[in-house]
Amino acid sequence: MVCLAGLVGNNSIGYRHNFGKVGRAVRRSAGRLLQKIFIAPQRLYRVELKDNKFVDVLWGSPDVPRLRRCFGQIVRGLLFHDFGRAFEGQVHIHLAFLHLEAGNAKTFNDFLKKRLEMDLVDCPKLGSNPEVFYYQRSEPDEFGLFAYRLRFYGRVEVMAGVLPAASNPPANIIQKFIEGGIKTIVTLGPEEFEFN
């Protein structure tokens, strides 16, 4: 919640959580909580919204491995909820809400968002309080792989690729080209995504 609630662009519930629950937790910990959450030194900016009305903005790099572990556990919980048993296999987390500079990482992020948008077009939004959190799950493909999209506070998006232990996906030649530094263009509908 510390990393997600106060992100710029969230809905009003996220901001209320940030200035309420998160603010109290940070004050109670005398700032130590922020040192656990952010790996690089963070900077605090005070922005004036209008005459004598200010908001504090924190800029920093979150502990990405920690976030991936947390979201991985959330997805495993959803898998248990959806299928009624402990999931055996791999869960790959992609943090789509992080700011990415230009390059392969940004192109990959844009590609995943578009692909998931297409795969989830007819899938229901699940969750009892969608303004705080909802999720969608794609149908398994021919190899048994499927995806989850989690959305928090109307804006924060996390994607998860789910590979059940019984699945046997083929080698991904496109990934090999990209990793090898070979210029690669992936077409998805009318859009092209250029790597390298």
Query: Can you tell me the mean pLDDT for 47-53?
Result: 76
Q: Residue 75 is part of which domain span?
A: 64-170
Domain for residue 106, yes or no? yes
Do residues 41 and 83 share a domain? no
Do residues 142 and 80 share a domain? yes
pLDDT of residue 40: 66
CB-based contacts of 136, cutoff 8 Å, min separation 6: 120, 123, 124, 125, 126, 148, 149
Question: Are the C-beta atoms of 158 and 136 separated by less than 8 Å?
Answer: no
pLDDT of residue 116: 92
pLDDT digits (tens, 9 = 90+) for 131-149: 999 999 999 998 999 999 9
Do residues 35 and 100 share a domain? no
Domain for residue 162, yes or no? yes
Do residues 164 and 132 share a domain? yes
Closest CA to 75 of 58, 57, 96, 89: 89
- The identity of residue 190, as a single letter, is P
Do residues 74 and 54 share a domain? no
Give the count of domains, the chain.
2
